[in-house]
Amino acid sequence: MTRTVGYAGGAFDLFHIGHLNILKHAKSQCDYLFAGVLSDEMLLTTKGAPPVVPLAERLEIVRHIAFVDEAVPEVSADKMDTWRTLHFDVYFKGDDWKGTEKGRLLERRFAEVGVEVIYFPYTVSTSSTALRLALKALAPNAADYRPVHDYSNSER
Protein backbone atom coordinates (compact mmCIF):
# COMPACT_ATOMS: atom_id res chain seq x y z
CA MET A 1 0.00 0.00 0.00
CA THR A 2 1.35 3.40 -0.97
CA ARG A 3 1.01 6.14 1.61
CA THR A 4 0.79 9.77 0.63
CA VAL A 5 3.21 11.87 2.65
CA GLY A 6 2.41 15.54 3.10
CA TYR A 7 4.32 18.55 4.39
CA ALA A 8 2.90 21.76 5.84
CA GLY A 9 5.42 24.31 7.02
CA GLY A 10 4.92 27.43 9.06
CA ALA A 11 6.11 29.56 11.91
CA PHE A 12 3.33 28.36 14.20
CA ASP A 13 4.19 31.27 16.49
CA LEU A 14 1.32 32.34 18.74
CA PHE A 15 -0.59 29.23 17.63
CA HIS A 16 -4.11 30.11 16.47
CA ILE A 17 -7.10 28.76 14.52
CA GLY A 18 -5.48 29.50 11.15
CA HIS A 19 -2.60 27.20 12.05
CA LEU A 20 -5.00 24.51 13.21
CA ASN A 21 -7.04 24.85 10.00
CA ILE A 22 -4.07 24.36 7.69
CA LEU A 23 -2.90 21.30 9.63
CA LYS A 24 -6.41 19.82 9.72
CA HIS A 25 -6.96 20.38 5.99
CA ALA A 26 -3.49 19.04 5.19
CA LYS A 27 -4.05 15.83 7.15
CA SER A 28 -7.33 15.27 5.29
CA GLN A 29 -5.30 15.16 2.04
CA CYS A 30 -2.53 12.74 3.06
CA ASP A 31 -1.82 9.63 5.10
CA TYR A 32 1.22 10.97 6.96
CA LEU A 33 1.75 14.65 7.75
CA PHE A 34 5.02 16.34 8.53
CA ALA A 35 4.62 19.80 10.07
CA GLY A 36 7.70 21.92 9.51
CA VAL A 37 8.24 24.54 12.21
CA LEU A 38 10.45 27.43 11.10
CA SER A 39 13.54 27.89 13.22
CA ASP A 40 14.00 31.10 15.21
CA GLU A 41 16.77 32.12 12.79
CA MET A 42 14.57 31.49 9.75
CA LEU A 43 11.80 33.61 11.26
CA LEU A 44 14.21 36.43 11.96
CA THR A 45 15.43 36.27 8.35
CA THR A 46 12.01 35.95 6.68
CA LYS A 47 9.85 38.10 8.98
CA GLY A 48 12.47 40.48 10.34
CA ALA A 49 11.59 39.67 13.94
CA PRO A 50 12.25 36.79 16.30
CA PRO A 51 9.32 34.59 17.32
CA VAL A 52 7.43 35.25 20.53
CA VAL A 53 7.51 31.53 21.33
CA PRO A 54 10.91 29.81 20.93
CA LEU A 55 11.37 26.91 18.50
CA ALA A 56 11.55 24.15 21.15
CA GLU A 57 8.17 25.22 22.55
CA ARG A 58 6.56 25.66 19.12
CA LEU A 59 7.75 22.17 18.15
CA GLU A 60 6.28 20.76 21.36
CA ILE A 61 2.91 22.43 20.69
CA VAL A 62 2.74 21.33 17.04
CA ARG A 63 3.88 17.76 17.75
CA HIS A 64 0.86 17.38 20.07
CA ILE A 65 -1.71 18.44 17.49
CA ALA A 66 -3.78 15.37 16.61
CA PHE A 67 -3.48 15.97 12.84
CA VAL A 68 0.33 16.02 12.90
CA ASP A 69 2.25 12.76 12.59
CA GLU A 70 5.67 14.36 13.02
CA ALA A 71 6.88 17.90 13.74
CA VAL A 72 10.30 18.83 12.40
CA PRO A 73 12.35 22.02 12.56
CA GLU A 74 12.55 23.84 9.23
CA VAL A 75 16.05 25.27 9.01
CA SER A 76 16.53 25.92 5.29
CA ALA A 77 14.85 28.56 3.16
CA ASP A 78 15.15 26.20 0.18
CA LYS A 79 12.07 23.97 0.25
CA MET A 80 13.90 21.48 -1.98
CA ASP A 81 16.37 20.87 0.87
CA THR A 82 13.42 19.94 3.05
CA TRP A 83 12.04 17.66 0.34
CA ARG A 84 15.41 15.92 -0.10
CA THR A 85 15.36 15.11 3.61
CA LEU A 86 11.70 14.08 4.03
CA HIS A 87 10.60 12.95 0.51
CA PHE A 88 6.99 14.14 0.78
CA ASP A 89 4.50 13.79 -2.09
CA VAL A 90 2.34 16.82 -1.36
CA TYR A 91 3.26 20.30 -0.14
CA PHE A 92 0.57 22.36 1.57
CA LYS A 93 0.57 26.14 1.64
CA GLY A 94 -1.83 28.96 2.44
CA ASP A 95 -3.47 30.43 -0.67
CA ASP A 96 -1.84 33.79 -0.02
CA TRP A 97 1.04 32.29 -2.08
CA LYS A 98 -1.18 31.13 -4.97
CA GLY A 99 -0.51 33.00 -8.20
CA THR A 100 2.49 34.86 -6.75
CA GLU A 101 5.97 34.68 -8.23
CA LYS A 102 7.17 32.71 -5.19
CA GLY A 103 4.22 30.33 -5.46
CA ARG A 104 4.72 29.69 -9.18
CA LEU A 105 8.45 29.06 -8.65
CA LEU A 106 7.65 26.64 -5.82
CA GLU A 107 5.14 24.81 -8.04
CA ARG A 108 7.65 24.50 -10.92
CA ARG A 109 10.46 23.22 -8.71
CA PHE A 110 8.25 20.70 -6.96
CA ALA A 111 6.68 19.54 -10.26
CA GLU A 112 10.18 18.52 -11.41
CA VAL A 113 10.31 15.94 -8.58
CA GLY A 114 6.64 14.92 -8.71
CA VAL A 115 5.41 16.89 -5.69
CA GLU A 116 1.96 18.41 -5.88
CA VAL A 117 1.36 21.81 -4.28
CA ILE A 118 -2.07 22.20 -2.68
CA TYR A 119 -3.26 25.58 -1.43
CA PHE A 120 -5.70 26.07 1.42
CA PRO A 121 -7.70 29.21 2.22
CA TYR A 122 -5.76 31.68 4.33
CA THR A 123 -7.59 32.43 7.60
CA VAL A 124 -7.96 36.21 7.41
CA SER A 125 -9.78 36.62 10.73
CA THR A 126 -6.71 35.68 12.77
CA SER A 127 -3.00 35.94 12.09
CA SER A 128 0.16 35.87 14.14
CA THR A 129 0.89 39.39 12.90
CA ALA A 130 -2.46 40.63 14.24
CA LEU A 131 -1.82 38.86 17.54
CA ARG A 132 1.67 40.43 17.78
CA LEU A 133 0.17 43.89 17.20
CA ALA A 134 -2.48 43.29 19.85
CA LEU A 135 0.16 42.14 22.36
CA LYS A 136 2.30 45.16 21.54
CA ALA A 137 -0.68 47.47 22.16
CA LEU A 138 -1.40 45.78 25.50
CA ALA A 139 2.23 45.71 26.64
CA PRO A 140 4.41 48.14 24.66
CA ASN A 141 7.63 46.86 26.24
CA ALA A 142 6.75 43.18 25.76
CA ALA A 143 9.03 42.91 22.73
CA ASP A 144 11.95 43.58 25.06
CA TYR A 145 10.94 40.75 27.40
CA ARG A 146 13.28 37.79 27.61
CA PRO A 147 12.52 35.02 30.11
CA VAL A 148 14.82 34.70 33.09
CA HIS A 149 14.75 30.92 32.82
CA ASP A 150 14.76 28.87 29.61
CA TYR A 151 12.07 26.26 30.24
CA SER A 152 12.59 24.54 26.87
CA ASN A 153 15.34 22.28 28.28
CA SER A 154 13.92 21.75 31.77
CA GLU A 155 12.78 18.43 33.16
CA ARG A 156 9.03 18.53 33.64
Distance CA 61, CA 154 (A): 16
Nearest by Cα to 119 from 149, 96, 87 = 96
Per-residue pLDDT of the chain (156 residues; tens, 9 = 90+): 567 999 999 999 988 888 898 999 999 999 999 999 999 999 999 888 889 899 999 999 999 999 999 999 999 999 999 999 999 999 999 888 899 999 999 999 999 999 999 998 876 666 666 656 655 666 666 555 444 334 444 333
CB contact at 8 A, 6 and 32 = yes
